[in-house]
Amino acid sequence: MSPTLNLSREDMRALGYRVIDMLVEHFETLPRKPVTRKADRPTLEARLREALPEHGSNALEILDQLQRDVFSSIMHTDHPRFFAFVPSPSNFVSVMADALAAGFNVFAGTWLEASGPAQIELVTIDWLRQACGLPDSAGGLFVSGGSMANMTALAVARHVKLGNRIEGAVVYFSDQTHSSIERGLRVLGFQNDQLRKIQSDGCFLLDLSALEHAIEADRAAGRVPFCVGANAGTTNTGAIDPLLALVDYCHQEELWLHVDGAYGAAAVFCERGQALLDGLGRVDSLSLDPHKWLFQPYEIGCVLVREERWLKGAFHILPEYLEDIEGKEGEVNFCDRGIQLTRGFRALKLWMSLKVFGQSRFREAVNRGFEMAEVAEAALRELSNWEVVTPAQMGIVTFRCAPEGLPPEELNWLSRELVDEMIADGFAMVSSTVLRGWTVLRMCTINPRTTETDVRGTIKRLDDMSKRLLQLL
């Protein structure tokens, strides 16, 4: 038997065509499929546990097994009625781009090994830079997602502001900030007493006066405030921290301003988003996740910093076995800009889909996310027992079923039960979060394939479920 691990042309074609057929079928039938499908561990153990096979088997049969036993147990985050967490409404063009990037096995770490892809990455990052209004001096990097983008940005902040000496340094962010900021800071060596989680105001925004007080108090105590983390669309409610005021304040106080726009910064692709995110172009660093509201399959996040050279300053190391990659003026080695040396050609999917659909269709697709949240809010306001907790903003609305007279613990119970009912039912998926101690439901409507009927149908379903649950009390 040959050790080459090659397939014949015919077998490659048969496997490839079958994979494409499976994908086309997935895209075509998705709206009619259940959104939620979760198997329990014993079932999956029984289906999939086996010893490492000594001998191979037929690839097409393995595809059948995958379809039957694996893909049957995923929640479809790209389904038009998946409104939980942050959906990832991918697109077929980008899926094909990912296949090409894997097929050509592009090593996107160095110019020497992938000059063409590096140029595509430069161009695509520049499109995002321009869309966000950052200056020409800015640069960036594609990473696995928002968590990695946030950590990369914070590592750059630590390097530029502190020369990596973190003792006594303090970082500030609101209690609505995504946990990846805290996790990133932990990985970067910050202790809990170096993190100030500022209580957000009544609209879940970073409270400027509380921020100023915390910074003054830390300075008075001899500590070194150096970085503020702000949100361009919180995961909970879509709230946007007061960016313009923060830009001015941080500039005046010589603090680094990092904005987590992993969820919301993509809104700059439409006019409404641009207006809401005024000031974004003046921040020191920004995270933006194309695998969320820019419709890419996982994994693609992006970090942008105001001065491109800061990335290299923070990450560049040249070991002797890589001296061959140091090239000519203008050549960019993306491995110098972040943590990964070996990295895939993530930019391709975003570049290719932006070229195929054009900015105009992305603009409409992003704008639709805003509209569908407004449809959800309007539908909820028509119902008697339901309360809108935070209005539609940036494609997110939070709400709860709150019949008069129900005690707090039963209200919270009801919201949690409704999520469980949704998971069991499969028609749609809505998740919960906790706001000021209240468990509430949350819909994130950024899938451009979501229809008004999907939104209204989901709310009707929730209402019917709530009526059944209320009878149990």
Ligand X SMILES: Cc1ncc(COP(=O)(O)O)c(C=O)c1O
Binding residues vs ligand X (CB under 6 A): 86, 145-147, 150, 178, 180, 235, 260, 262-263, 289, 301
Using omega within 30 degrees of 0 as the cis cutoff, is the peptide bond preceding 299 cis? Answer: yes
CB of 396 to ligand X, least distance (A): 10
Tell me whether residue 260 or residue 336 sits nearer to ligand X (CB atom): 260
CA 124 to chain centre: 18
Give the single-character DSSP code of 221: T
Please count the other Cβ atoms lying within 10 Å of the Cβ belonging to residue 94: 25
Shortest distance in whole angstroms from residue 434 CB to ligand X:
16
In this structure, the number of other CB atoms found within 10 A of the CB of residue 30 comes to 16
Measure the CA–CA gap between 73 and 67, rounded to whole angstroms. Answer: 9
- To the nearest 10°, report the CA torsion of 269, 275, 280, 286: -40
CB of 321 to ligand X, least distance (A): 31
> 393 has which bridge partners?
396
CB of 31 to ligand X, least distance (A): 23
In DSSP terms, 198 is beta-bridged to 174
- Least distance from ligand X to the Cβ atom of residue 291, Å: 6
36 or 174: CB nearest ligand X = 174
Identify which of residues 145 and 344 has a Cβ nearer to ligand X in the complex.
145
Local structure of 452: helix, strand or coil: helix
Q: Rounded distance, CA 256 to CA 284, Å? A: 6
Minimum distance from residue 262 beta carbon to ligand X (Å) = 3
For ligand X, the closer CB: 150 or 447: 150
Q: Alpha-carbon distance 229 to 323, whole Å?
A: 37
Could you tell me the smallest distance in angstroms from the CB atom of residue 93 to ligand X? 21
- Quick one: 145 or 417, whose CB is closer to ligand X? 145
Q: Which residues contact 190 (CB under 8 A, 6 or more apart)?
A: 166, 169, 171
Identify the three-state secondary structure at position 403: coil
Nearest Cα to 148, choosing from 180, 172, 126, 194? 180
Report the alpha-carbon distance of residue 314 to residue 140 in Å, rounded. 13
Bridge partners, residue 388, by sequence: 399
Torsion, Cα 90 91 95 101, to 10 degrees, reads -90
Give whichever of 124 and 180 is closer to ligand X, judged by the CB atom.
180
In whole angstroms, how close is the CB of 408 to ligand X at the nearest point? 27
Residues in CB range of 242: below 8 A, 6 or more apart? 205, 206, 208
Read off φ and ψ for residue 441, nearest 5 degrees.
-95, 160
Q: How far is the CB of 224 from ligand X (least distance, A)?
A: 25
CB nearer to ligand X: pick between 242 and 403: 242
Token readout for 465 is 């479920």
Do residues 188 and 154 lie in contact, with contact meaning Cβ atoms separated by under 8 Å? yes
CB 300, min distance to ligand X, A:
9
Nearer to ligand X, 129 or 258 (CB): 258
**Smallest distance, ligand X to C-beta of residue 301, A:** 5
Distance CA 265, CA 280 (A): 8
Beta carbon nearer to ligand X, 185 or 414: 185
Our CB check for ligand X shows the closer of 86 and 419 to be 86
Backbone angles phi, psi at 97, to 5 degrees: -65, -40
Q: Which of 358, 337, 292 is nearest to 142 (CA)?
A: 337
Q: Which is nearer to ligand X, 117 or 146 (CB)?
A: 146
